[in-house]
Structure formats: structure tokens, C-alpha cells
Amino acid sequence: MRRVGIVAKPDAARAPEVVTRLVDWLTERGFEVTLEKETAGIVPAVRANAANKAELPGLSDLLIVLGGDGTLLSMARAVGDLGVPIMGVNLGGLGFLTATTLDEMLPSLEAALEGRMVVEERLMLVARVVRKGAAMCEHMGLNDIVITKSAMSRIISLAVSVEGHFATAYRADGLIISTATGSTAYSLSAGGPIVAPTVDAIVLTPICSHTLTNRPIVLPASHRVEVTIQSDQEIMLTVDGQVGVGLRERDVVEIVKAASHTRLIRFPQKDFFTVLRTKLKWGER
């Protein structure tokens, strides 16, 4: 690893200080550093290359994300199938994906550059919107694909098929289709199960279902899920809570396993259960 890309949440209070420290540390050791353009804008005195978010993964052997989970999710989609490993450093908030603390940042980085960190392969999903038989758009997500009614809409009706076979119908406020990584995000708050993040699985979690027998279900990631919209009202598809697409009645949302995985770097000592206990106080209350 000789090329390191850095992207920071620009409105994080400590971002300028941390970016400056990182660039100094890396350049002193002979690494080529490239900052995401918005990140470069918050440290005008720092001398480093700059690139836009889409270009940054192609110029990097390692990406360091400073901020929260939202910043990391955005970069995971930008990396796509390039396979560039990502180290997330938490600058505040819950930080399930950006689990490395500021105190751990430089020791973690040193270990990563020396190959002493664990690289976890995380499943990504692809959502394709099909309207009247034609694909309208396609988006990749690390956490979840969510279909929800708008603020003023009534309950929506959705029909779900798995591997071409009808599975169930939902009358609910919406449906969350998440990866194991996303099982501790929106899906968890809607009553979904916690799934170990390296498991290749798809979790279907209804949002406020009006049928008591509708419960979350875990499927193999190899299965194709199709959700058909059966309500004529305002409905939205969101990917990782960051990309939005309006849906119409009879639209079909196809969800499949992405060809690529997101590669996240973590300390060997900081396993999934350590993060659960730290972030959720799991087993303590």
C-alpha cells in the first residue's frame, strides 16, 4: 500500500485537525495522499492531491473515512467493485461501521499498512427498479434498501416474491431489505434480528405491519427478491438512506446480491460482539 485516500465529514468539528494530522503522519512516511475535494476544502493549508469522490477509490490502495457511518456508506458505494479496503474512524455519534476511535486511529493505520489488521468482506445489495418491463435505474447499497410510504400516505400494499415464487404480501408502512451489516441499523429499530455482519444474508423486515403474522425473515444472499408495488400513492425507495427514487403502482423492485463486497478494516481485538457491547450496551440492560 503506497496510496492513501482520505475523506472526512466536512461539518465534523474535529475534521480539519484530524485530516491535518493524518496527512502529516502519512507524508512523513513516504505515502502518496489524496484528499476528497470537499475534504481538501476544509484544510486549505494542507498540501496534498485532491480528487472528487467518484475518482478517489481508483487513486487509492487504502481509504480512510473520518466521520460517521453515513460518510462510510457513501464511500462504500463509490468504491463499488474496485475492492479498495476502507478504515472508518469515528468523529462522533454511534459509529457502528466507523468503529475505530481517534485514539486508535494511528495505531490502527500503522497496523493496516503493515498487514496486521483484519479485513472483513461485507455483502452489498443491488436494487433495480423495473417499470413496464424496462429497467429504470440501479443502485448498490451496503446497509439496506427501504421501500416506504410518504409522510401523508396511507398504508401501502407490497407483494414479495423470492426466487420467482410468491412469498407473502405486506400491508404496512414499508419494508426494509437489509444486509447483515445493515441489520443493526434501520432494520433493528423496526424489530429485525441482529445478524453477524460477515454472514451473506438478506433480511426482510416490515415496518409497522398490519398483519400480526408478518415477522422478519432471513434469506440466503443468493436468492433474488422482487417487491411489486400494489398501491397508487406516493412511495419512495431509498438506498442506505442516501439515494432516493420515487416509485409507482406496479413498479417492481428487484434486489440481488452484488458481485462485489465492501472490504472493511478492523483491529483483531475489536470483534463484532465488542462493538455490540460498546455501541448498544448489548447484554447490559
Enumerate the active-site residues. Answer: 69
260 to 67, 124, 141, 177, 181: CA distances (angstroms): 24, 7, 11, 18, 15
Question: Which residue, chain included where needed, has cell 472483513?
Answer: 120
Contact by Cβ (8 Å): 241, 70: yes
Residue-by-residue DSSP string for 29-47: TT-EEEEEHHHHHT-TTS-
Q: CB-based contacts of 276: which residues, under 8 Å, 6+ apart? A: 184, 194, 282, 283
241 to 70, 141, 220: CA distances (angstroms): 8, 9, 23
C-alpha cell at 117: 489488521
What element of type H or E holds 103? helix 102-113
Which residues is 255 bridged to in the sheet? 127, 225
C-alpha cell at 103: 485514539
Q: From the CB of residue 125, how many other CB atoms can be counted at a distance below 10 Å?
A: 25
Amino acid at 59: L
d(CA 186, CA 275): 17
d(CA 5, CA 235): 37
